[in-house]
Amino acid sequence: MEAENLITYARNAREYAYAPYSRFKVGAALLGKSGKVYTGCNVENASCSAGICAERCALSKAVSEGEREFVAIAVICDLKGPCTPCGICRQVLAEFNPDMQVIMANLVGNTKISNISELLPDAFGKANRLHG
Which positions touch ligand THU (CB under 6 A)? 19, 22, 24, 26, 42, 44, 51, 53-55, 85-86, 89
Choice between 34 and 45, CB closer to ligand THU: 45
Catalytic status, residue 4: no
Q: Tell me whether strands 26-32 and 37-41 are parallel, antiparallel or unpaired.
A: antiparallel
CB of 51 to ligand THU, least distance (A): 5
- Among 55, 65, 67, 118, the one annotated catalytic: 55
Least distance to ligand THU from the beta carbon of 74, Å? 12
Dihedral of CA atoms 36, 53, 18, 81 in degrees, nearest 10, equals: -90
Measured from the CB atom, the residue of 51 and 114 that comes closer to ligand THU is 51
Count each helix (H run) and each strand (E run) in the chain, helices first. 4, 5
Residue 44, strand partner residues = none
Distance separating alpha carbons of residues 73 and 38, to the nearest angstrom:
9
Nearer to ligand THU, 85 or 98 (CB): 85
Active site residue ranges: 55
